[in-house]
Amino acid sequence: MKDALDIFLWVIFPYLALGSFIFGTIGRFAIFHAGVTAESSELLEKKQLMIGSILFHIGIIMVFAGHVVGILIPKSFTDWLGIPNEMYHIGALVMGGIAGFMALAGMMILSYRRFTNKRVFKTSSFSDLMVNVSFLIIIVLGLSASFIDGAILHPEFNYRLNLSIWARQIFVFHPDYHLMLQVPILFKIHVICGFLIFAFFPYTRLVHALTLPWQYIFRRPIVYRKRPRV
């Protein structure tokens, strides 16, 4: 029974979540493209939105980049570069901690604004509220996993020897669930919550993150001329 649960969580579930992300995103853009928007509530309240949004977006982009680097770059490569394992982990904790706490501060401000400002709350959908709560949970889990479960409770744990390898195996369709059996519990919950966010990503306002304004880079420049006085 336990093996069946582990196989589902670390072999089947990631593909279900990624399938929902990929096909849900394609369907959202193909069928409901007009609804792909952040639905800004800036007109209802601006100060908290600006502070929270800047902190959260800078922090979460740094966090995402750190996750990508931690997963895609194997330990053998940093060993080849001559980077000691202790130095790598200290750097990851420092940079990840700064980014994580920035993202957490930003999301706390945005969540406080969404739940306490009556006008903002009334214009929020259920998915909007769930997005805020979900990000608060996953950020807290990530920080707790790094600074409590990893650094204090299991200082010998090195995610690059199991979790990262398992994550890379997903992309070649051969994940070994045995690797995840060695991972501390908070890391496991963090991973599951991360895949859940990927799963419901296309059905919320989060999908606006994929609508980068490329047209502003490639369009012809607009020339503004001052109207001559008559």
pLDDT in tens, 117-171: 999 999 888 999 999 999 999 999 999 999 999 889 998 899 999 999 999 999 9
Instruction: Report the binding-site residues.
Output: 57, 67, 190, 208
CATH number where 174 lies: 1.20.950.20
- Answer for the pair 48, 41: CB distance below 8 angstroms, yes or no: no
List alpha helices for the chain, DSSP H: 2-7, 13-31, 47-72, 75-81, 85-116, 118-122, 126-144, 163-170, 185-200, 215-218
The number of folded domains in the chain is 1
Instruction: Report the binding-site residues for heme b.
Output: 57, 67, 190, 208
Domain span including residue 146? 2-218
pLDDT in tens, 171-207: 999 999 999 999 999 999 999 999 999 999 999 888 8
Query: Has residue 228 been placed in a domain?
Result: no
* φ and ψ at residue 39, rounded to 5 degrees: 50, 60
Query: Has residue 229 been placed in a domain?
Result: no
